[in-house]
A and B are shown apart, each in its own frame.
Chain A
Amino acid sequence: MNLEWLDAFLISGLFSVVVIIGLALLLHLQLGLTRIANFGVVGFFGIGMYSFGVMFTKVDWPFGDLPAFLISLAFGTLVAGLSGLLVGWLIADLDEDGVLVGTLGFATVVFILATTEQDLTGGALGLGGLKFPYDVGTVKADEFLWLIIVSIVVSLIFLYVWWVHRTPYGRLLIATGGNEPLARSLGKATFRTKLWLFAVGSAGMGLIGALFGVMERFLAPENLGIDVTLAAMVALVIGGTARAWGAVIGGFLIFGFFDIIVQSYIPFPKEWYGQAIPNAKLIVEGLVLMGVLLFRPLGILGAMQRDKLMRRVHG
């Protein structure tokens, strides 16, 4: 495959945008519909990434790479889902402050475990030995193919999240987020609903973490900073928490714009790329976030607009 036309920066830039959009979409179900402010996104992302990585590299698999890879991927997803079930059980009935502290605390625990459990994770030195489950020639071609695969996974997540607004389950999520006591009085098991949404959403975040780890090839605790959580949250808030497209638009606008267009295609002097541009990027992102919250508090796409949706579905 001749990929000379393709910039390596473009692949990695697009890849991080796709990963952030994937996380933001799952966060849309939790925060946008059900109003569970999960500030531990990176915790589930990280526990999926490391569980996958440890399973894949430390176990002496008796069969080929692909089955070992898929089993490890399922394992990472499962571990993230189970930890989501545990954390969800602890926080599902707490108020917003409790949810914030609980989920942030979980992310911190994952970071500390990744640093201190040196035998498993390699500690601060990191964990190497990850690879793509295929080899199509060059590193660039491998990475490009991985970008496509992960884009397909995130597109499927998007399709589900977009469609869920049109299902009785989506309505249940919105009702639970909008007025939980009222939903309960109508016979809805809101605790269980929140718990399973949290667990399955966390499993999805773990899967995305594992897929991200493959592209990195080398897992280190610095991948588990709060910036991952904030990136997903900022993308969603800017695009609009209540809309499925909000995650996509916010992700492309904020991270796509800076990471790809500004960093790769605008010919700034070389010496700016060391400190000036990354810092300017943070400042501009912060300003955009403030501007959106001030002038369009529901995000660029605005309110949920169930009236229009219901007209389309049942009109």
Chain B
Amino acid sequence: MVSETQQATVTRPQIRVQNAVKSFSGRVVVDIDDLMLGDQPIEGLIGPNGAGKTTLMRMIMHSTPLDSGTITLFNANGGGDVVISNLPTHWMAPHGLVKSNQVIMDFDNLTILDSMLLAVSTARYEKPYRIFDEPRLYADSVERMNEYMEYFDLGDPMRIAGSAGEKKLLDIIRCLLLEPKFLMLDEPTAGLPEEVTEKVVGLIRKLADEGTSVVIVEHDLNVIWNLCDEVHFMAEGSVVLHGSPEEIRQNSTVVEKYLGEGHV
């Protein structure tokens, strides 16, 4: 009985974007009146190239500052509500808000193991005078890291990630190791082979089942239709439609602006 009540009151972290505007050299790229993300466990964000999907995600992370507007994180890390549009980027991850990168990003000199340890390590470990903490950090996290290494069959972690696909995967693993409460994925499966894509999709589902809110930008629409509980359609800087995957893929505007007649 108790657990049922708890189940009913569990709320996922949500993000509300209000009156958010961003323009580059006078051209308005994102202009959103009011958008709520995280109502459903997994939400998709789709739209044609240049619609502002990536910029919107970057605005939420504050890696692209807003021209105006407010972004609020509800139930941040199980706590209250926080206006995040004025907070620095590095505040986000420790409070459960994490985003993967669209373009391939890696650290020049760091091995896969380094990358993973960097993700799991907190500011507490990273003080200049804490010089004997490495063994503890490793011991505390080796199991979790090995799980991902084995799940994705990555082999030896003590080497620099080689291929673009491997770097992309490592980016996602870093995000997962941060134990996100609200995870944004920007084209997570672009450039990954099909069997790896399936593994990534499997992990996203598991994460959402465990209570994480996931928002995913993806051009592989099969991933969107199969994975998402709700889809937001973006065009010319604003979200013009929300709905279930079925509603969206049959909507005439979406078909006309994005999918093309053949897709339906």
Q: Counting CB contacts under 8 A, is B99 at the interface?
A: yes
| B128 near A169: Cβ-Cβ < 8 Å | yes
Q: Counting CB contacts under 8 A, is B106 at the interface?
A: yes
Of all chain B residues, the one with the shortest Cβ separation from A166 is B134
Least Cβ–Cβ distance between A275 and chain B, in angstroms:
44
Whether A307 touches B158, Cβ cut-off 8 Å, given contacts A175-B110, A186-B93, is yes
Residue among B123, B127, B159 making CB contact with A307, cutoff 8 Å = B159
Q: Counting CB contacts under 8 A, is A217 at the interface?
A: no
Segment with Cβ contacts to B, from A129-137, A188-196, A206-214:
A188-196
Residues of A within 8 A of B117 (CB): 168, 171
Q: Which residues of A in the span 155-187 have a Cβ within 8 Å of any Cβ on B?
A: 160, 163-164, 166-169, 171-172, 174-175, 178-179, 181-187
**A-facing mask of B224-255, CB < 8 A → 1, else 0?**
00000000000000000000000000000000
Residues of A within 8 A of B133 (CB): 167-168
Whether A306 touches B131, Cβ cut-off 8 Å, given contacts A181-B63, A185-B99, is no
Residues of A within 8 A of B110 (CB): 171, 174-175, 178, 306
State in angstroms the CA–CA spacing of A75 and B178 once bound together. Answer: 42
| B130 near A169: Cβ-Cβ < 8 Å | yes
Q: Counting CB contacts under 8 A, is B108 at the interface?
A: yes
Q: Which residues of B in the span 66-82 have a Cβ within 8 Å of any Cβ on A?
A: none
State in angstroms the CA–CA spacing of A178 and B108 once bound together. Answer: 5
CB-defined A-B contacts under 8 Å, sample of 17: A160-B131, A168-B117, A168-B121, A174-B107, A174-B110, A179-B107, A182-B105, A184-B88, A185-B92, A186-B119, A187-B94, A187-B123, A197-B128, A242-B109, A306-B160, A307-B160, A314-B158
Least Cβ–Cβ distance between B246 and chain A, in angstroms:
34
| A186 near B118: Cβ-Cβ < 8 Å | yes
Whether A185 touches B107, Cβ cut-off 8 Å, given contacts A166-B134, A169-B128, A311-B158, is no
**A-facing mask of B108-145, CB < 8 A → 1, else 0?**
11110110011101110111101111100110000000
Of all chain A residues, the one with the shortest Cβ separation from B108 is A178
Residue among A172, A179, A307 making CB contact with B126, cutoff 8 Å = A172
Which of A164, A172, A310 has the largest number of chain B CB atoms within 10 A? A310
Residues of A within 8 A of B90 (CB): 184-185, 187-190
- The interface size of chain A toward B, counting residues with CB under 8 Å, comes to 37
Number of A-B contacts (CB under 8 A): 119
State in angstroms the CA–CA spacing of A178 and B130 once bound together. Answer: 22
Residues of A within 8 A of B114 (CB): 171, 174-175, 306, 310
State in angstroms the CA–CA spacing of A242 and B110 once bound together. Answer: 12
| A168 near B107: Cβ-Cβ < 8 Å | no
10 cross-chain pairs, A with B, having the tightest CB-CB distances, nearest first: A187-B93, A178-B107, A168-B125, A178-B108, A310-B158, A304-B109, A184-B89, A172-B126, A168-B121, A187-B94
State in angstroms the CA–CA spacing of A200 and B127 once bound together. Answer: 13
| B138 near A314: Cβ-Cβ < 8 Å | yes
Residues of A within 8 A of B94 (CB): 187
Least Cβ–Cβ distance between A176 and chain B, in angstroms:
9
Q: Counting CB contacts under 8 A, is B61 at the interface?
A: yes
Q: Counting CB contacts under 8 A, is A303 at the interface?
A: yes
Residues of A within 8 A of B111 (CB): 306-307, 310
| A168 near B101: Cβ-Cβ < 8 Å | no
Q: Counting CB contacts under 8 A, is B174 at the interface?
A: yes
Least Cβ–Cβ distance between B134 and chain A, in angstroms:
5
State in angstroms the CA–CA spacing of A190 and B90 once bound together. Answer: 8
Residues of A within 8 A of B134 (CB): 166-168, 313
Residues of A within 8 A of B113 (CB): 310, 314
State in angstroms the CA–CA spacing of A314 and B135 once bound together. Answer: 8
| A182 near B101: Cβ-Cβ < 8 Å | yes
